[in-house]
Chains A and B, each alone.
Chain A
Amino acid sequence: MERRDFLQTLGALVCLSADGVRGPDWPVLAQPLLLMLLGHEAVRELGMQYRALVPQEDNRDLLRSTLPAPWHRSIAATIQQDFEAGRTVVLRGWILSVTEARQCALFSML
């Protein structure tokens, strides 16, 4: 990820905190791989596509509730389990786990 992207992403996460999301929740967005691979704009677009594809989840509280609590198990492990179980979704051609797609959706609401 470019330094500029990193700073923008960091800024977005700070804004998220300021927007009323409780501190313990924001690590669920801190799945670094997609942000590192694609940058924050692409991740935001993926999130918007997921919300369009699954409109019943186009709700911040609902999305937050579907993501594992950060103290319960690592996001990475959950994502790995998604892939193992075939819980995947295709967004803009990217084959993603449902969990990280929801992360993208939540991220796109920032």
Chain B
Amino acid sequence: MRAVFHAIAMHIDARSLPNGSLLEGDLCIVGAGAAGIAMALEWIGSKHTVLLLEGGGLDYEPAMQDLYRGKIVGLPYFPLEAARLHQFGGTTGHWAGFCSTFDAIDFEQRDWVPYSGWPLRREDLDPFYARAQPLLQLGPYDYAAARWQRRDPGLVPLPLDPTVVWTKMWQFSPPTRFGVVYRDAIFGAPNVQLYTHANVCEIVANEALTAVDGLRVRGHDGKEHRVRARQYVLACCSIQNARLLLASNRRATAGLGNAHDLVGRFFMEHLEIPSGHLGLETSRVPGMKMYAFTLGVTKARGELALHAGVQRARRILNGTVSLEPGTADEVAKSTFQSLNPQVLAAMRDSTEQGAPPPSADSTVVPPAPFYHLMTRQEQAPNPLSRVSLTTERDALGMPRAQLDWRLTDLDKRSFREFYGVLGREFGRSGLGRVQMLDWVTHTEPAWPSTLSGGWHHMGTTRMHDDPKRGVVNASCQLHGVANLSITGASVFPTAGAVNPTLTLVALTLRLSDHLRLKLG
């Protein structure tokens, strides 16, 4: 079967396969989003045959998207079918391109953050961050504010005490639409076979649960196919990775890799909430280009973050704050809400065309007297915040996912402490005054109606060297299953303060190197 389709095309719509087809390769990647495509690109030109299985098609299809529909319990959350794109290129089809690195403290075991600590350090990931940068069409692997200021003297950080509040740099991808930018590379790769409309419904393990024997792929047309490879990689996103493992319960009743009831637990988001205001003493600030953002134009900008030492002393989570100019009498807006309609329309067009939207650059950004403060904070790992399965099944017979998103007192207290420190530092420096919104000042655990995530799903197959505390090991291999690995933000033990894409691509490249050793 493989030979037949080799001769025709490297992209095969699984709906065209005869029922009961067997797809064989050396490496099988399940999911063609940022992680899956990044992995496949690494193997182009190798001697190994790579199967890249995408459940959706090349474009948006409602029937495919509906497979992601699920039930929300716990805190309110976005509809699951809207939170991820089920098509070639995955959610990069509508991401905004915000990239930054996790901080060293994000990898540490922090005694005030239960379940924190990665089995690797920031410096272990540095070479892979550097490799991930060009894949995301970013600039140099450099996130130091001072060096960005040398490149562009207009990028001046606020003169705050950096041992208290520092300027954390972000870089902006165009944003890279993986399904557009890497389509030709994947389609033209002689050793990569992309199958679209190939929804994996079950991972079939051997009797001892020590290896994967194969995958079952199902289509809306009722056809079912088998997939066999030497190594398998799940790259389906946090909710779907967990869902697939839990649903693969033919031999392991609790789900594959779930002997310790960890799969699906520790679901994390970034808490992105309007939290306060800044009244800026404009006469003391020459310009605010460092903190400004123009979609499609800005290559790098800063956000305010608390120094690791302050986080330790206050025993709080990591977070950053963006500054959006506005007025006191308007509702706080996020960076995207602040964009004018023309820019948003251009952004929608760019989603379809894969090109950055046109926009005017501004070399001088005068300081405004008033800023809305938008916080992006990591969520504390919480085993009660979880993805599980419902009894309802989708069109392919898969149990649908249920999300029970839950937060802790630490999440709330961290906001309050963050703004307390920020307010004191702005006051001390004479640069302005900070106002906390009501919900931040309250000590009770209630959250505001503006509670929102960043559409970032993390943590459901967390990484830990101890199989009783993690689903995958430090190499992203499923504990106890020699030929199954997982990549994407689902392996994050903690969420960090920044958007996950750069880190998940870096982890994918790291996993690719591990698999190279295994496959020879």
Given known contacts A90-B441, A95-B419, A33 and B424 CB-to-CB distance under 8 angstroms: no
Q: Does B430 contact A (CB under 8 A)?
A: yes
Q: Do A80 and B428 have beta carbons less than 8 Å apart?
A: yes
Q: Do B433 and A37 have beta carbons less than 8 Å apart?
A: yes
Residue of chain B at shortest CB distance from A94: B435
Checking B280, B424, B437 against A95 with a beta-carbon cut-off of 8 angstroms, the contacting residue is B424
Given known contacts A79-B427, A80-B428, A95-B420, A33 and B435 CB-to-CB distance under 8 angstroms: no
Contacts of A110 in B (CB 8 A): none
What string of 1s and 0s marks CB contacts (under 8 Å) between A6-45 and chain B? 0000000000000000000000000001101110000000
Checking A83, A93, A94, A96 against B428 with a beta-carbon cut-off of 8 angstroms, the contacting residue is A83
Given known contacts A80-B430, A93-B438, A88 and B423 CB-to-CB distance under 8 angstroms: yes
Given known contacts A88-B423, A95-B423, A76 and B441 CB-to-CB distance under 8 angstroms: no
Contacts of A84 in B (CB 8 A): 428
Q: Which of B261-287 contact A (CB under 8 A)?
A: 276-277, 279-281
Q: Does A92 contact B (CB under 8 A)?
A: yes
Given known contacts A37-B279, A38-B279, A88-B423, A95 and B428 CB-to-CB distance under 8 angstroms: no
Q: Do A95 and B438 have beta carbons less than 8 Å apart?
A: no
Bound-state CA distance A33–B434 (Å) is 12
Q: Do B281 and A93 have beta carbons less than 8 Å apart?
A: no
Q: Which of B375-431 contact A (CB under 8 A)?
A: 419-420, 423-428, 430
Q: Do A88 and B435 have beta carbons less than 8 Å apart?
A: no
Closest chain B CB from A85 CB (angstroms): 10
Given known contacts A37-B279, A37-B369, A93-B276, A86 and B424 CB-to-CB distance under 8 angstroms: yes
Bound-state CA distance A82–B430 (Å) is 12
Checking B370, B430, B432, B437 against A93 with a beta-carbon cut-off of 8 angstroms, the contacting residue is B437
Q: Does A108 contact B (CB under 8 A)?
A: no
Q: Does B67 contact A (CB under 8 A)?
A: no
Contacts of A103 in B (CB 8 A): none
What string of 1s and 0s marks CB contacts (under 8 Å) between B322-361 and chain A? 0000001000000000000000000000000000000000
Contacts of B425 in A (CB 8 A): 83
* Residue total for A at the interface (Cβ-Cβ under 8 A): 20
Contacts of A79 in B (CB 8 A): 427
Closest chain B CB from A44 CB (angstroms): 15
Given known contacts A33-B281, A37-B279, A94 and B434 CB-to-CB distance under 8 angstroms: yes
Q: Which of A87-110 contact B (CB under 8 A)?
A: 88, 90, 92-97
Bound-state CA distance A80–B432 (Å) is 11
Contacts of B504 in A (CB 8 A): none
Closest chain A CB from B135 CB (angstroms): 42
Q: Bin chain B's interface residue count.
A: 20 to 34
Q: Do B441 and A96 have beta carbons less than 8 Å apart?
A: no
Q: Do B424 and A88 have beta carbons less than 8 Å apart?
A: yes
Q: Do B435 and A92 have beta carbons less than 8 Å apart?
A: yes
Contacts of A34 in B (CB 8 A): 433
Bound-state CA distance A82–B420 (Å) is 14
Q: Does B436 contact A (CB under 8 A)?
A: yes
Residue of chain B at shortest CB distance from A88: B424
Q: Do A95 and B434 have beta carbons less than 8 Å apart?
A: yes
Residue of chain B at shortest CB distance from A87: B424
Bound-state CA distance A76–B431 (Å) is 12
Bound-state CA distance A54–B138 (Å) is 53
Given known contacts A86-B424, A90-B441, A37 and B432 CB-to-CB distance under 8 angstroms: yes
Contacts of A92 in B (CB 8 A): 435
Contacts of B424 in A (CB 8 A): 83, 86, 88, 95
Contacts of B440 in A (CB 8 A): 93
Contacts of B435 in A (CB 8 A): 92-95
Contacts of A90 in B (CB 8 A): 436, 441
Bound-state CA distance A88–B422 (Å) is 12
Contacts of A86 in B (CB 8 A): 424
Residue of chain A at shortest CB distance from B280: A37
Given known contacts A38-B279, A88-B424, A95-B424, A33 and B437 CB-to-CB distance under 8 angstroms: no
Residue of chain B at shortest CB distance from A95: B423
Bound-state CA distance A95–B427 (Å) is 8
Closest chain B CB from A7 CB (angstroms): 18
Contacts of B420 in A (CB 8 A): 88, 95
Q: Do B430 and A95 have beta carbons less than 8 Å apart?
A: no
Closest chain B CB from A106 CB (angstroms): 18
Closest chain A CB from B288 CB (angstroms): 16
Contacts of B277 in A (CB 8 A): 93
Q: Do A96 and B427 have beta carbons less than 8 Å apart?
A: yes
Bound-state CA distance A95–B424 (Å) is 7
Q: Find the residue from A37, A79, A88 having the highest chain B CB count within 10 A.
A: A37
Bound-state CA distance A79–B328 (Å) is 24
Closest chain B CB from A21 CB (angstroms): 25
Bound-state CA distance A76–B430 (Å) is 8
Closest chain B CB from A10 CB (angstroms): 19
Known: A80-B427, A93-B436, A95-B433. 17 other contacts (CB 8 A): A36-B281, A37-B281, A38-B328, A80-B430, A83-B427, A88-B423, A88-B427, A90-B436, A90-B441, A93-B276, A94-B423, A94-B434, A94-B435, A95-B423, A95-B426, A95-B434, A97-B427
Q: List 19 A-B contacts (CB under 8 A).
A: A33-B281, A33-B432, A33-B433, A36-B281, A37-B279, A37-B281, A37-B433, A38-B328, A76-B430, A80-B427, A80-B430, A84-B428, A86-B424, A93-B276, A93-B436, A94-B423, A95-B419, A95-B427, A95-B435
Interface residues of B (CB under 8 A from A): 276-277, 279-281, 328, 369-370, 419-420, 423-428, 430, 432-438, 440-441
Interface residues of A (CB under 8 A from B): 33-34, 36-38, 76, 79-80, 82-84, 86, 88, 90, 92-97
